[in-house]
A and B are shown apart, each in its own frame.
Chain A
Amino acid sequence: MNAAIPFGLPGATAFYLTLYLATFVVHMVFMHYVLAGATYLACGRLMGRARCAACEWQGILLDWLPFATGLAITAGVAPLLFVQMLYGREFATANLLLSHRWMAIMPVLIVCFYLLYLQKSAWISRRPWVWRPLVAVVVCVGFLFIALSWTENHLLMLDHAAWPRLYESGGLRYKSPGLLPRLAVWFFLAFPSLAIELAWQGRLTGVGIDATPQPGTGLSPVRRLALTAGAGLVGCATAGLLYWSTLPAAVRTAVAGPLAGPWLAMLGAALVVQAAVWLIAAIRGRLSSPLLLVATGGWIVGLVAVALVREAIRLNSVDVAASAASLAAALRIGGLPVFLVFAVLNAAAIVWCIRTVRATAR
């Protein structure tokens, strides 16, 4: 292929890939909030009661994480559908090879989900303080386990040669040099997302994000966000370079070439824009609306670009030509107009729900 994906792909493949990427980006928005939010909360809880009380963001996270988790799961259903359309054999095989270990993410997710509700319950507020960091750390570790499992599953999908060997060994873990660096990329990438999302939440819910902190309570709200985003961006870039070094040379050449070279450059630019905005905000101690808009633009472009680069790496290991005919046949199966109609109607209904509640609650 000599064009950047999805442009160089057969029509049906490009169509499903675009749908997959679009829905995956939406999933990432909520998944990043949950993963980074749970980590932020756990770190905050470990710093003690006084610092927790002074941090507005922890209050917001405590309140919204259960809903965000519900949204992340719901938003994850669509990419799960399209990934099976595009890479059904690879996805199913990786699931089966990891078997019980893979399926363990389900009970872990249920436990974490309930613990998120427990964290904001009156019950835990009546218990000694130690319960709160304990629960927050368990939630964080649980989500990290789920992230690790997805990373392992993804890398195993790409390693066809390892399938019979892994099956024969009976092992339920897939070891790869790229595993931890790739996990780190996705983990750290969640923090700039969280910073932007919290900044918007603060603005919409009236939290004084530009407020000056009380003496002895640490950083201002904006500087907390800048630190969170900055740490995430540095971590992501470092882990990204490490992961890049673990990729085979042929894959690196292909991804940096026409296949995803433009997306790689776009990703770099998006990360730089976000870093610049947060640096300015940290120096000034406030985040103006134009700056927040610029950071948000950089964030969205970054998410799209990272999803495209991720796909370019995957397409190097999967024979898309082999599935082109079946995807073309699938596209001829009826139902697309019905989906489009209900997608629009239900999106409108969702907007209507939010507007009604905002208007009435106000």
Chain B
Amino acid sequence: MVCMPPLEYFPVIDVGPLMKGLVIGGLGIFHVFLAQFAIGGGMLLSYLQWLHMRGTCRLARRFADDYFKMLVLVSFVLGAVTGVAMWFTSIQVSPRTIATMVREFHWVWATEWTFFCLEVVAGYLFYRYGPRLADPARLQLLLLYSAASWMSLFWINGILSWQLTPGAWLESHDVWAGFFNPGFLPSLIFRTISAAAIAALAACVLVNAVGGFNREERHELVAVCARPLVAMLAMPLVGAWYLATMPADSRGWTTGGSVPMTLFLTMAVGSSTLVGLYAVVAILRQRLYVNGATATLLLALAFAATAGGEFVREGVRKPFTIREYLYSNSIARDGIEQLRQRGSATDDPYPLRDAAAYPNAQLVLGAKVFRVQCSVCHTLEGMNAVCDLAATWSIDQRRLNIAQLQRTKPFMPPFAGTPAEVEAVVQLIGWIRAGKPRAWEQTHDASVLEQIGRWLDEAGTGPGDPQLAAAEPSR
């Protein structure tokens, strides 16, 4: 095992007043929605082809060809490119996190890639030759396409769920212990149901959008395509299972501990409930017709559910990006002590872009510390701005709250620097709150630094949650 350094220095990007998390979150939600549409689409099309071959749906083959064209145009282009973009965006936001994921799971990722290749070839052959192929060959191609796309979910799901529930990997660093982690199965089943539901709703939209079907035919197709929505009945159970596998502190965020997390979970649950109720009661039980507007609204609700769910999945990992291993600011859990001695900005080779704008060296240090430790989630004056969050704090409160960051908010990582770095950040906030005057006096009070040092020692180097803090850090 090669030991991780406490921190690796990369040039930190600036996305202006936006939070970096929003950039990757927005793209991630979009990509997940498209990917799940592709996975569910494959399953739905296989089902339609099978119905056609059994002679129980005379329109299935024709509609399958229309559906696949849309699948290719949406999933093969936007889905594929946003997938690569996710990788690049992850590098932009947290290069160390993605590097760790690549290192630990590169063979899993390489395996997933072989399924991508199969998915693209089988899919494109169906798109190009499907209308000319005999039914058995069509079904075989569609089954291969569906299996390949679902397997890509299988592999990536293991990596993503590992970030929150690494399980026995923390002890053994065994790739399969990490892959088949406690969250793996419920997450896989939940995502499979979501994929089936999204594809069914997209089919309802498409039935109304493509020409060539009369009202009666559209009604028949809606009734057939909506059948996978029945799987949504299992969502509450699987969702509860997934919540149960979450670490207690993370689950706490979603059940009132963090207002945004609770709200986003409520949004996901509420949207899914509305879609599920409408699908089961109105479409499947009462066999009501779904027009284009209603189908689009249902699909939009499914998007909202995906957005809420993905936001929660990303958010509940705090204060970690890889649970109990790497903090959200990419500092190794067992590296805090070292950085408390050495300082987090001491070895940073990248100068500030606007160093001349700061009146003294202490503020320059504060800006560098902010860049290293805080900028992945916060801005100085934009969204989730530290200056706003600390606006009502007195100067000593700032010193205490930053030194004992993990106690101030349990989803914050511990401060990973020297007392002088805490003071530098405190002064930086004060200077910005004061309107960035041209002159700003440096503070040199040794007693202040001693007090900050005591506060840092009191809080310790572990996370804020007492149970988490007691756990042995993983190397």
Contact = CB atoms under 8 A, between A and B. Distances in A.
Q: Do A and B come from one complex?
A: yes
Interface of A: 67, 70-71, 73-78, 80-82, 84-85, 88-89, 91-93, 95-97, 99-100, 102-103, 106, 109-110, 113-114, 117, 163-164, 167-170, 325-326, 329-330, 333-336, 338-339, 342-343, 345-347, 349-350, 353-354, 356-357, 360-361
Q: Which 3 residue pairs across A and B have the least CB separation, nearest first?
A: A335-B107, A92-B95, A346-B114
Interface of B: 1-2, 8, 10-14, 73, 76-78, 80-85, 87-89, 91-92, 95, 98-99, 102-111, 113-118, 120-122, 124-125, 128-129, 132-134, 137, 140-141, 144, 148, 173-176, 349-353
Contacts of A169: 353
Contact of A360 (B11, B114, B133): B133
A85 B98 CA distance: 11
A231 B116 CA distance: 35
A88 B90 CA distance: 13
Contacts of A84: 98-99, 102
Nearest to A360: B137
Given A103-B92, A346-B115, A353-B125, A97 B11 contact: yes
A92 B10 contact: yes
A73 B105 contact: no
Given A77-B84, A339-B114, A360-B132, 10 more contacts: A71-B121, A103-B88, A117-B77, A163-B11, A167-B351, A335-B107, A343-B114, A346-B114, A354-B125, A361-B133
A334 B102 contact: no
A114 B114 CA distance: 25
Contact of B77 (A96, A113, A330, A339): A113
Contacts of A333: 103-104, 106-107, 173, 175
Contacts of B81: 73, 106, 109-110, 113
Contacts of B89: 103
B106 A164 contact: no
B105 A110 contact: no
A77 B10 contact: no
A227 to B, nearest CB: 29
Contact of A67 (B113, B128, B175): B128
A97 B13 CA distance: 8
Given A85-B102, A96-B92, A357 B116 contact: no
A110 B77 contact: yes
Contacts of B353: 167-170
A170 B353 CA distance: 6
The A contact surface, by secondary structure, is helix
Contacts, number: 183
Given A335-B108, A339-B111, A356 B140 contact: yes
Nearest to B12: A96
Contacts of B108: 335, 338
A77 B113 contact: yes
B349 A356 contact: no
A326 B104 CA distance: 11
Contacts of A74: 80, 113, 116-117, 120
Contacts of A73: 80-81, 84
Contacts of A77: 83-84, 113, 116
Contact of A353 (B78, B92, B104, B141): B141
Contacts of A346: 114-115, 117-118, 148
Given A70-B80, A106-B85, A325 B92 contact: no
A64 to B, nearest CB: 9
Contact of B106 (A70, A89, A335): A335
Contacts of B117: 74-75, 346, 350
A356 B102 contact: no
Contacts of A93: 10-11, 95
Contacts of B350: 163-164, 167-168
A167 B355 CA distance: 12
Contacts of B105: 335
A109 B115 CA distance: 22
A245 B190 CA distance: 57
A329 B92 contact: no
Residue of A75, A80, A96, A343 with highest tally of chain B CB at under 10 A: A96
B11 A167 contact: yes
Contact of A339 (B78, B107, B174): B107
A152 B114 CA distance: 29
A92 B100 CA distance: 12
Contact of B13 (A96, A113, A345): A96
A329 B2 contact: yes
Contacts of A91: 91
A334 B88 CA distance: 25
Contacts of A343: 110-111, 114
A109 B80 CA distance: 11
Contact of A336 (B14, B76, B107, B148): B107
Contact of B2 (A67, A167, A326): A326
A354 B134 contact: no
Contact of A99 (B92, B113, B122): B92
A335 to B, nearest CB: 3
Given A93-B10, A110-B81, A78 B88 contact: no
B111 A338 contact: yes
B132 A361 contact: yes
B175 A335 contact: yes
B13 A335 contact: no
A123 to B, nearest CB: 13
A96 B102 contact: no
A163 to B, nearest CB: 7
10 contacts: A78-B113, A81-B110, A85-B103, A91-B91, A95-B88, A106-B81, A106-B88, A335-B111, A349-B118, A349-B144
A76 B88 contact: no
Given A339-B107, A342-B111, A346-B118, A357 B129 contact: yes
A357 B125 contact: yes
A321 B14 CA distance: 33
A343 B109 CA distance: 12
A168 B108 CA distance: 37
